[in-house]
Structure 1
Amino acid sequence: MKNVKSIFAVFVLFLLFSFSHNDMSPKVGVKLGETAPGFTIDDTLSGKFDLNSAKGKYVVLNFWASYDANSRISNIRFNNEISRINKDDVRFVSISFDPNENVYRETVRLDGVDTNTQFYDNEGESSGIYRNFRLQKGFGNYLIDPQGVIIAKNFSPEKLTKLISQ
């Protein structure tokens, strides 16, 4: 009987130590509490953006296209809200999935949004970013904390200040 207890005790200790040494960082995904999937996007207008290099700042990640009126309006509203709060620790990154780059460029010009925050994904809805963030028609947005963890999804620009001050 002592042997069974000893074997059981060793087994329990083994389990405890194996769990205590696991990496406790959140898994990569698109749910709240998960680490956002990394990506790099290069745009001739805005330059290059690498999500992994933005750690240490909040990132408002917005997805839109000129053919989707609601996402276009949301892009303008986020642009205005972020310029209003003027926080150095917040980065706004807005990615368009327009099928035509000229339409995207003209829309950015007409809407008067900050060109340094706007990026064009020339692969559109078949891009890795679109798939990795599980986007659908109507697109959406994410708020990523300074550690790279998703803390909000599909929130309004008006809620941004409250979310980053928590």
Structure 2
Amino acid sequence: MKYLKYFLLAGIVLITSSSYTTGTSKVSEGIYPGNLMPDLKLENEEGSKLDLKYLRGVKVLVNFWAAYDADSHMKNVLLWNALKKEKNPLVMVSVAFDRNKAVFEKTLSMDGIDKAYQFLDMNGNDSEIYQKYQLGKGFKNYLIDENGVIIAMNLTPARLNEILENETL
């Protein structure tokens, strides 16, 4: 009986100490909140290249859309206008999956969107990016923190502003 107490005490200490994780655990890569955003390398029509990892240190909103998809097109415009109006401290990167460059350019021109962080993947649904981010299930957007971790996805302008306001408190 005397030894049983020692074994129980040792067992409790062992279980308690093993339940704590160390600070060295890594965030896994994935496409859902809490995951590290997968690598995303882009080039726009002017030849400007962007590697998402070089935007570490700032919050980034990555938006996938296409001119032929009315809902994703509308969200792209609304998010762009909301960020421009509110002067939020983040960068918006948009990737369109239109197969026609003229349609993409005309859409940006009509929408009044700056081309600096607008990218076109003319491979459409055959694109590696399209497949990696499972966009066949619908276009998405991702809010990424300064470390490249996905904070939220499928945001409306109102929800985006709410998240940003709560983080600055």
- Bin of the TM-score, shorter chain as denominator length: 0.7 to 0.9
Contact 1:143–1:151 (CA under 8 A) maintained in structure 2? yes
2:37 alignment partner in structure 1? 36
Output the CA distance in 2 between the equivalents of 1:137 and 1:24.
31
Q: Say whether 1:136 aligns with 2:136.
A: yes
Q: Per the alignment, in what secondary structure is the counterpart of residue 136 of structure 1?
A: helix
Alignment size in residue pairs: 154
The residue aligned with 2:102 is 102
Aligned to 1:66: 67
Measured in 2, the distance between the counterparts of 1:155 and 1:137 equals: 16
2:114: which partner in 1?
114
Residue 130 of structure 1 aligns with an amino acid whose one-letter code is Y
CA spacing shift, 1:163–1:46, aligned 2, 3 Å: farther
- CA distance in structure 1 between the partners assigned to 2:150 and 2:30 by the alignment: 9
Q: Distance in 2 between matches of 1:52 and 1:128?
A: 18
Structure 2: 5+ residue stretches without partners: 1-6
Percent identity, aligned pairs only, is 35
Shift of 1:133: 1.4
Q: Deviations over 1:97-144 (max 9, x none)?
A: 001111111111111112112111122212221122111254111111
Cα distance in 1, alignment partners of residues 52 and 91 from structure 2: 10
Q: Does 1:56 align with 2:62?
A: no
Match of 1:84 in 2: 85
| Amino acid in structure 2 at the alignment position of 1:86 | K
Contact 1:67 1:98 in 2 (8 A): yes
Deviates more, 1:64-73 or 1:115-124: 115-124
Moved over 6 A (4+): none
Residues 45, 116 of structure 1: 8 Å contact kept: no
For 1:94, what is the secondary structure of its paired residue?
strand
How large is the Cα RMSD of the aligned pairs? Answer: 2.3
Code of the aligned partner of 1:129: I
**Structure 1 residue 46 displacement after superposition:** 7.2
Is 1:145 paired with 2:132? no
Residues 28 and 137 (structure 1), Cα distance of their counterparts in 2 relative to 1, 3 Å cut: closer
Cα distance in 1 between the residues matched to 2:65 and 2:114:
15
Aligned-partner Cα distance in 2 for 1:46–1:92: 18
Aligned residue for 1:122, secondary structure, equals: coil
Q: Which amino acid aligns with 2:155?
A: F
